[in-house]
Structure 1
Amino acid sequence: MKEIEVVIDTDEIAEFFYTELTKRGYIPAENELEELADITFEYLLKKCIIDEEEDL
């Protein structure tokens, strides 16, 4: 199987959640979006979908 590089940005995750939640009638606070993005990132790590790399 071929390995590909995917960059996961928690800011992009937060924007995605904001868009999707507002479509559904929710107005989340900025800190709530940050928490959701962090939780999503941690979930992806736990499921071994992504590997965390440190910025150099």
Structure 2
Amino acid sequence: MKEIEVIIDTEEIAEFFYQELIRRGFVPTQEELEELADITFDYLLEKCIIDEEIDVDDE
């Protein structure tokens, strides 16, 4: 199986949820969006869809 590098950005996830929820008639708060993004990231980790790597350049 071929391995590919995918970068998951929780801010991008939050923006995606915001746009989709607005389109469906919901108005989420920034805190709710951040929680949804974190939950989504945790789900992807738990299902082994992604591996968490810490970028030492960001520290």
Q: Same fold (TM over 0.5)?
A: yes
Q: What residue number does 2:19 align with?
A: 19
TM-score (norm 1): 0.98
Q: What is the CA distance between 1:33 and its match in structure 2?
A: 0.1
Structure 1 vs Structure 2 CA RMSD: 0.4
Deviation track 1:5-56 (CA, whole Å, cap 9, x = no partner) reads: 0000000000000000000000000000000000000000000000000011
Aligned to 2:43: 43
Runs of 4+ in 1 over 2 A off after TM superposition: none
% same residue: 75
Q: Which runs of 5+ in 2 are unaligned?
A: none
